[in-house]
């Protein structure tokens, strides 16, 4: 089946600065795909390359099999974009803004009006349909960006930090809408700074840094790469931490903190905990309480991007790229 997005060795240079440095990425049709990365990682540059706001320097990128430059009209027709910036027409009431956008995609005027009303109702700002963009509150502006992205009924919906700076209620509203669209078959590409957002919504995430892909995995797979912490409370704490590495191979570190034993294990703590408890009981310890804290995706994200920086710094030819940022 044709991929929704297929980028191969994508490069974008601004003078000496490389915003995209040989990015290769594949997003399946119907997938909810997340792009994570620190500021300047190249996420927005990548998105803008897809919709024609950035011209690539090298490499190839296709959307539903069509080249973004050679077949630009087909590609742009299939994409709905909710960008980070408020780039909305200030001259017209928001319903007309949506009708214009639908019209640019070849939708007839009557149908555009119906779709505009439907999109405004979906995002909850239908009452403001006669208002111009500048008079909307910050949250309503975010809602409008989503409405504008979906009014053309896109096959690929791109959301660039859609919930940046919005309150919890709106964030949950937006998540619900996006999830519903994905369930109905729309491919979603989401960039976000909120790790929780990626964890809750995405089928797979790509972590980007310095214009390249660090890794692609499901949120669960990423979590498995981290270290969980199991804290065990003992009735009679020993003078020093017991040796358990022979009994449980996943143990990375054991230390005693007052009457509690803190054990860091590789991968999922829930899987390791029963064997750990057995090992402790075998050694004569009586357990009164246990707590497992899972590693957060945020910690893994920081670890991976920092690791990438170290790798790039050690890599001679890429040094200029890093310094240019």
List interacting residues with other proteins (CB under 8 A): 14, 45, 48, 51-55, 72-74, 76-77, 79, 81, 83, 85, 87-92, 97, 99-109, 112, 148
**Of residues 81 and 263, the one with the C-beta less far from other proteins:** 81
**Of residues 104 and 274, the one with the C-beta less far from other proteins:** 104
Q: How far apart are the first and last CA of the chain?
A: 38
To other proteins, the closest distance from the beta carbon of 142 in angstroms equals 16
d(CA 253, CA 291): 16
To other proteins, the closest distance from the beta carbon of 73 in angstroms equals 4
Element (H, E) at 123: helix 109-123
Nearest to 33 by CA among 52, 20, 46: 46
| Number of other CB atoms surrounding residue 78 within 10 Å | 20
Element (H, E) at 234: strand 227-234
- CA distances in angstroms from 196 to 45, 208, 252, listed in the order given: 23, 17, 26
**Of residues 14 and 135, the one with the C-beta less far from other proteins:** 14
**Of residues 75 and 181, the one with the C-beta less far from other proteins:** 75
To other proteins, the closest distance from the beta carbon of 138 in angstroms equals 17
d(CA 244, CA 275): 10
To other proteins, the closest distance from the beta carbon of 187 in angstroms equals 17
**Of residues 83 and 269, the one with the C-beta less far from other proteins:** 83
To other proteins, the closest distance from the beta carbon of 155 in angstroms equals 13
């Amino acid at each position: 089946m044709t991929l929704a997005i297929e980028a191969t060795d994508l490069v974008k240079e601004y003078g000496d600065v490389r915003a995209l440095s040989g990015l290769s990425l594949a997003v399946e049709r119907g997938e909810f795909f997340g792009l994570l990365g620190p500021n300047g990682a190249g996420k927005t540059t990548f998105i803008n390359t897809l919709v024609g706001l950035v011209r690539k320097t090298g490499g190839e990128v296709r959307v539903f099999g069509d080249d973004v430059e050679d077949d630009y009209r087909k590609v742009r027709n299939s994409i709905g974009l909710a960008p980070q910036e408020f780039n909305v027409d200030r001259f017209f009431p928001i319903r007309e803004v949506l009708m214009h956008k639908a019209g640019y995609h070849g939708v007839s005027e009557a149908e555009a009006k119906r779709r505009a009303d439907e999109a405004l109702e979906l995002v909850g700002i239908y009452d403001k349909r006669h208002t111009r963009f500048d008079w909307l509150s910050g949250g309503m502006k975010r809602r409008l960006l989503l409405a504008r992205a979906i009014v053309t009924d896109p096959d690929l919906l791109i959301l660039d930090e859609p919930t940046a700076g919005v309150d919890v209620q709106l964030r949950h509203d937006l998540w619900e809408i996006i999830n519903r669209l994905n369930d109905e078959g729309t491919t979603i590409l989401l960039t976000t700074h909120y790790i929780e957002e990626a964890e809750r919504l995405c089928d797979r995430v790509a972590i980007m840094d310095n214009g390249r892909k660090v890794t692609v995995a499901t949120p669960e797979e990423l979590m498995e790469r981290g270290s969980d912490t199991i804290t065990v409370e003992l009735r009679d704490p020993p003078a020093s931490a017991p040796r358990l590495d022979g009994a449980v191979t996943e143990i990375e570190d054991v230390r005693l903190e007052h009457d509690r034993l803190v054990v860091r294990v590789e991968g999922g703590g829930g899987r390791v905990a029963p064997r750990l408890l057995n090992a402790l009981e075998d050694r004569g310890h009586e357990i009164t309480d246990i707590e497992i804290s899972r590693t957060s995706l945020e910690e893994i994200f920081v670890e991976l991007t920092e690791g990438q920086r170290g790798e790039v710094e050690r890599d001679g030819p890429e040094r200029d790229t890093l310094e240019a940022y």
